[in-house]
């Protein structure tokens, strides 16, 4: 899935309401990676827990942070940037940094693009898989976890829209500009989410 953001620097990306919402609200682990440098920009508490990290991994290479064999063979960032469909979920075997047992996790990639459509960052949503043994292979699988990841994205989108409207004091045009979307797109999203009555 691609998310288009207003132009800005990395701090603007991390401060965007949708990205902030995903980092704060997602039940999944979230790792934000710079598309050009492949450096980790941010992780949420759930991602740090899954990966056995004691602190934020900001500035480290995503491959070193995720510590998965899939990163060598079928990099989730490369896959997302190649435009593979969002319903593809990779199963990763994550080798924890605290030497705890390896964890199988479903990974879903969200590409953050600037207004020209260039990829600027990627959010890797990670969800631990229940009942999968350490010796089982990892790789691309049908989207068993896609509904959960989609639900988290929908909730983060709802939160981002509410925050933008609050910051804009209810002004739909200003909120749409903050979100990097057209005013009519914001209106359709508000109607779909039943946050406003139909005209």
The CATH number given to whatever domain includes residue 121 is 3.30.450.20
Burial class (CB in 10 A: 0-12, 13-18, 19+), 120: buried
**Separation between Cα atoms, residue 40 and residue 29, nearest integer Å:** 13
Judge whether 149 lies within some domain.
no
Q: In sequence order, which residues have a C-beta less than 8 Å from that of residue 163 and are 6 or more positions away?
A: 17, 20, 21
Judge whether 33 lies within some domain.
yes
Q: How high is the pLDDT of residue 138?
A: 42
Q: How high is the pLDDT of residue 15?
A: 80
Judge whether 35 lies within some domain.
yes
Q: How high is the pLDDT of residue 19?
A: 81
Judge whether 151 lies within some domain.
no
Judge whether 48 lies within some domain.
yes
Q: How high is the pLDDT of residue 139?
A: 42
Judge whether 7 lies within some domain.
yes
Given a cut of 50, the residues of the chain with pLDDT beneath it are: 86-87, 132-147, 199
Judge whether 110 lies within some domain.
yes
Q: How high is the pLDDT of residue 5?
A: 67
Range of the domain at 125: 2-143
| Run of H or E including 111 | strand 103-113
Q: How high is the pLDDT of residue 171?
A: 92
Tally the domains of the chain. Answer: 1
Judge whether 193 lies within some domain.
no
């Amino acid at each position: 899935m691609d998310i288009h953001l207003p132009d800005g620097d990395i701090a603007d990306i991390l401060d965007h309401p949708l990205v902030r919402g995903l980092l704060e609200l997602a039940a999944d682990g979230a790792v934000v990676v710079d598309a050009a440098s492949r450096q980790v920009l941010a992780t949420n508490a759930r991602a740090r827990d899954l990966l056995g990290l004691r602190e934020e991994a900001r500035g480290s290479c995503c491959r070193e942070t995720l510590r998965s064999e899939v990163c060598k063979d079928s990099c989730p960032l490369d896959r997302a940037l190649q435009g593979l469909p969002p319903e593809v979920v990779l199963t990763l075997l994550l080798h924890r940094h605290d030497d705890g047992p390896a964890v199988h996790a479903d990974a879903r990639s969200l590409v953050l693009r600037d207004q020209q459509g260039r990829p600027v960052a990627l959010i890797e949503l990670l969800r631990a898989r229940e009942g999968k043994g350490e010796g089982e292979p990892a790789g691309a699988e049908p989207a068993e976890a896609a509904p959960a990841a989609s639900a988290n994205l929908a909730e983060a989108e709802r939160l981002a829209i509410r925050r933008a409207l609050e910051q804009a004091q209810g002004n739909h045009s200003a909120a749409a500009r903050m979100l990097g979307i057209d005013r009519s797109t914001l209106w359709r999203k508000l109607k779909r989410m039943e946050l406003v009555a139909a005209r």
